[in-house]
Amino acid sequence: MKTIFITGATRGIGRETGSLFAGRGWRVFGCGRDQHLVEETNTALGHPHQIFHMDVTNDEDVKLGMETLMQLTGGKGPDVLVNNAGYQELGPIEDLSIEIWKKQFDVNVFGYLRMIQAILPSMRKRNEGRIINVSSVAGQVVLPFYGAYCASKHAIEAISDALRMELKPFSVKVSIIEPGPMISNINFTGFANLQKNRPEGTAYDSYYKSGPFKLDHIEKISQPTELVSEAIWKAATSTRPRARYRVTLLSRLAILAKTFLPASISDRIIS
């Protein structure tokens, strides 16, 4: 039985992906930070799947979690790692403290790196395995007020590209998933953080109140998470997986606009 390990497995894309793989005969392992959601997801998936409490920003948590994972897989490690855990810190570059930037990168970038460095040795030793990093269209196209989040996803794009080339001699394949706006809890937490990060007397007050930063506008163009799960399935099972899977037409159009139009025009469209 093939095995997969998913970070951020208790909600949104992670939970949907776990359900899809379990339904198609894989054994699913994963982690989440909310103990209640961990228990709820375990109940939903049932035996022999197992989600456990683990914080990808905590070195000791990851160490203990990986010891558990190795025991559950008989020392082999998973066939596929899906780095998915992430969240959004929103706000103007000027308004976001360095601590907020550090927190954003600790989850969205260093969390991925911790998992890669923990699981990769077992894959390299076997000369097989797949690493799938859930990035975003934001890893290619930058939005105003999304600077910290976009920067974290740009970092994942660079790390994944380097890793893909480095691991070719070991037959370990690396793919990036680039969703557009999805129907996911990340939108609600992102907009909550936008208001939380809003300082008194900010020079950007009118932007906080403008249309592009209203949650209902994002929800109107959001797509179901099943589309991302299917892309992850393809990356995990294709004989020759792509380097990038761009999910939704909107994400593909945004990247084309950014690539081929003058900045003065693409900036206006994106903004």
Residue 203: give its domain's CATH number: 3.40.50.720
Residues labelled as active-site residues: 149
pLDDT of residue 210: 65
CB-hemisphere CA count at 13 Å for 35?
0
For the chain, the helix, strand and coil percentages under 3-state DSSP, each to the nearest 5: 55, 15, 30
pLDDT in tens, the chain (271 residues): 999 999 999 999 999 999 999 999 999 999 999 999 999 999 999 999 999 999 999 999 999 999 999 999 999 999 999 999 999 999 999 999 999 999 999 999 999 999 999 999 999 999 999 999 999 988 999 988 999 999 999 999 999 999 999 999 999 999 999 987 656 666 667 777 878 888 888 998 877 776 455 656 666 666 667 899 999 999 999 999 999 999 988 778 888 888 898 998 888 887 7
Q: What is the pLDDT of residue 189?
A: 77
- Amino acid in the structure at residue 230: E
Task: Name the domain count of the chain.
Answer: 1
Q: In this structure, what token pair is assigned to residue 65?
A: 């979690």
Instruction: Give the domain range for residue 233.
Output: 3-270
Neighbouring residues of 150: CB distance < 8 A, sequence distance ≥ 6: 136, 138, 139, 141, 142, 143
pLDDT at residue 217, as a whole number? 62
Per-residue confidence (pLDDT) for residue 211, from 0 to 100? 47
Q: What is the pLDDT of residue 89?
A: 94
Q: What is the pLDDT of residue 257?
A: 85
